[in-house]
Amino acid sequence: MRRNQALVKQRAGRTTLGPALAYDSPDLAEQIAHLGFDWVWLDWQHGQFTEATLNNALARFLMLDSAPIVRVKSHEPGTINRVLDMGAMGVMVPMVQNAAQAAEIVRATYYPPEGMRSAGGVRLELIGGTFEEYAARANDEIMLVVMVETEEAIANVREIMRVPGVDVVLIGPFDLLTDVRAKGGDKARHEQLVLEVAAASKETGTPAGYVCETREMAERRIGQGFRFINYGLDHFVLLGGMREIRELAREWTGG
C-alpha cells in the first residue's frame, strides 16, 4: 500500500506545505507533482477541473511521494467517494460548520468500521497492490481536511477538531473575511478568529491550516502554529511571472 508521506509528516507534528492548482491541466499537475511538495491541492470546487481532467491529473501522481488532495464541491458523499476511487490520497471539504457535519464527512471518507465508504474503483489496486490490501489500509493513509470559513464554524472549531478521523482543519480566509464583513466586522476581527483556530489547534492537537498569498504570510502563520500551509496558486504564480516579463519587455523595448 502506498504510504501517504504528507500524512506521516503531519501526524509526527511537523509542518507540511503544498500549492493549489485551479487550471484543468493534467500535464501541469504532473510537472508540479514531480517537484516534490508534501501534497498538491487539486481544486474541484473553484478550479476548472472536469471529472475527466481531474481523473487524468490524479493518475500522474501514482508513482510519486507527493500526495494529491482534491477539494470537492460539497459534503455530498458520492463525490467524496468518487475522488478517492480516482486515486486521491486526501480530500478537502469546504464550508464545514459543526462537529455533526464533520462526522458525516468522516463517514463518507473512510471504509467501515470508521465510516461507510463504498468499495470499488479500478485504480485502487495500483495504489494498494491488490484491492483487498488497499481496502484494509486506506483508512490509515487518506488525509481528511475540513475547512472552517465562517464565524459559526470557528465558534465550533474545538468540537470539529475533536471528531475522530479529521486530520486537519483549514481556514478559508477569503470566505471567512466575507462572512466577518457581512456581520459588520473587519480585518481585526478576522485576525482574532484566525488566532482562535491556532489556539484550538494547540489545545486539541489537531493541525490547523491556512491559505497564504505571500511568503511573509506563510512565515507568519507557521510562527503562529499553523502546520498545514497552502502557498502558491498556479493562476497567481503564472500571472505574477508574466507581469515581471511584461515589465522587463517594456524596459527593454521602450514601452
Q: What is the pLDDT of residue 255?
A: 82
Q: Is the pLDDT of residue 169 over 90?
A: yes
Q: Give the mean model confidence (pLDDT) for residues 225-236.
A: 98
Parent domain of 49: 5-253
Q: 167: helix, coil or strand?
A: coil
Q: What is the pLDDT of residue 13?
A: 97
In the block, which residue shows the cell 508540479?
32
Over the stretch 118-136, which tens digit does the pLDDT of each residue have?
Answer: 999 999 999 999 999 999 9
Q: Give the mean model confidence (pLDDT) for residues 13-36.
A: 98
Q: Give the mean model confidence (pLDDT) for residues 206-212.
A: 98
Q: For residue 128, report the phi and psi dihedrals to the nearest 5 degrees.
A: -100, -5
| Rounded distance between C-alpha atoms, residue 113 and residue 200, angstroms | 28
pLDDT averaged over every residue in the chain = 97
Structurally, how many domains does the chain consist of?
Answer: 1
pTM passes above 0.85: yes
Nearest to 166 by CA among 103, 214, 98, 114: 103
Q: Give the mean model confidence (pLDDT) for residues 145-162.
A: 98
Q: Which amino acid is at 60?
A: R
Q: Give the mean model confidence (pLDDT) for residues 175-199.
A: 98
Q: What is the pLDDT of residue 36?
A: 97
Q: Which helix (H) or strand (E) holds 67?
A: strand 67-71
Over the stretch 34-78, which tens digit does the pLDDT of each residue have?
Answer: 999 999 999 999 999 999 999 999 999 999 999 999 999 999 999
| Rounded distance between C-alpha atoms, residue 238 and residue 178, angstroms | 26
Q: Which amino acid is at 227?
A: R
Q: Which residues, 6+ apart, have CB-to-CB distance to 246 below 8 Å?
A: none
Over the stretch 27-45, which tens digit does the pLDDT of each residue have?
Answer: 999 999 999 999 999 999 9
The enclosing domain of 156 has a CATH number of 3.20.20.60
Over the stretch 241-251, which tens digit does the pLDDT of each residue have?
Answer: 999 999 999 99
Q: Assess contact for 126 and 181: CB atoms under 8 A.
A: no
Q: Which residues, 6+ apart, have CB-to-CB distance to 33 below 8 Å?
A: 40, 60, 61, 64, 66, 68
Q: Are strands 168-171 and 208-212 parallel, antiparallel or unpaired?
A: parallel
> Which of the following is catalytic: 34, 46, 75, 235?
46
Q: 26: helix, coil or strand?
A: helix
Q: Assess contact for 39 and 90: CB atoms under 8 A.
A: yes
- Place 253 in a pLDDT band, splitting at 50, 70 and 90: very high
Over the stretch 86-115, which tens digit does the pLDDT of each residue have?
Answer: 999 999 999 999 999 999 999 999 999 999
34: annotated active-site residue: no
